[in-house]
Amino acid sequence: MAAPLCIVGLGNPGPTYEGHRHNVGSLVLQQIAQRWHFSFVNKHSFELSIGTLEGRKTLLLRPLTFMNDSGRAVGLCASFYKLSPEEFLVLHDDMDLACGVIKLKQGGSSGGHNGLKSIDTVLGPAYWRLRIGIGHPGHKDLVVPYVLSPFAKAEKDHLVSVFTAIAECLPLFVRGETTLFAQQIQAAGAARPPANATMS
């Protein structure tokens, strides 16, 4: 029997941050939960839902700490369910990718992402990451207000199809068909919103 899989959606807690670019991992996790009828239970420092996909026990984990403390919830989950790093898929925003562009990888550096840095301290680098492009504001001084702002309307319209594709194709990843999973979600992210989109 396959080991359990834990899918982690990164973001900052509370309604203030809910629709921000930095919370795109959490937004995708919510889409997955809705598609496959998972219900979250509050565990103080995180929300957790447990179900079965493709005959494999699957956990959806949403930390309720701020991004730079995401590793706390991941570490607790790894310890309690005896999960190895390879049994985690972390969904997170990535400024190096255009909005809606998706890349799947296993291992590697944090790329300066504070959520991944925190997770690295408890898992090491060998876990899976689903990089979800949010675009870049063009200058490093604009990064913080950019990631802590909502998506433009054109971006939102595009992301609906991207999020849906990730949720629909997830059984491929669960079955270990990672290459096909990556190909199908990358195709969904290929059409990009206008570069001159204005904030809604």
Q: Which residues lie below 8 Å from residue 166, measured CB to CB, with a gap of 6+?
A: 28, 31, 32, 102, 130, 185, 188
Whether 92 sits among the annotated catalytic residues: the reply is: no
Q: Which two tokens stand for residue 181?
A: 């999973």
What gap in Å lies between CA 146 and CA 72, rounded to an integer?
26
Per the residue annotation, which of 22, 92, 113, 158 is the catalytic one?
22
Residue 197 lies in a domain: no
Question: What is the arithmetic mean of pLDDT over 170-183?
Answer: 96
Give the pLDDT score at 192: 57
State what percent of residues in the chain have pLDDT above 90.
Answer: 84
Give the pLDDT score at 191: 61
Name the pLDDT band for 44 (thresholds 50, 70, 90): confident
Residue 29 lies in a domain: yes
Give the pLDDT score at 194: 44
Distance of CA 198 to CAs 25, 78, 155, 156, 194, Å?
22, 41, 9, 11, 9
Question: What is the arithmetic mean of pLDDT over 74-89?
Answer: 97
Residue 77 lies in a domain: yes
Domain count, the chain: 1
Residue 194 lies in a domain: no
| Angle, helices 153-174/178-188, rounded to nearest 10 degrees | 170
Q: Which two tokens stand for residue 79?
A: 């310890």
pTM, 2 dp:
0.93
Residue 193 lies in a domain: no
Residue 196 lies in a domain: no
Question: What is the arithmetic mean of pLDDT over 14-32?
Answer: 95
Q: Which two tokens stand for residue 6?
A: 């834990």
Give the pLDDT score at 188: 82
Residue 200 lies in a domain: no
| DSSP category for residue 112 | T
Residue 157 lies in a domain: yes
The enclosing domain of 67 has a CATH number of 3.40.50.1470
What gap in Å lies between CA 59 and CA 3, rounded to an integer?
11
- In tens, the pLDDT along 88-138 reads 999 999 999 999 999 999 999 999 999 999 999 999 999 999 999 999 999
Domain enclosing residue 16, as ranges:
5-188
Name the pLDDT band for 197 (thresholds 50, 70, 90): very low
Tokens 């296993």, residue located: 106
Residue 129 β-bridge partners: 90, 105
Give the pLDDT score at 193: 52
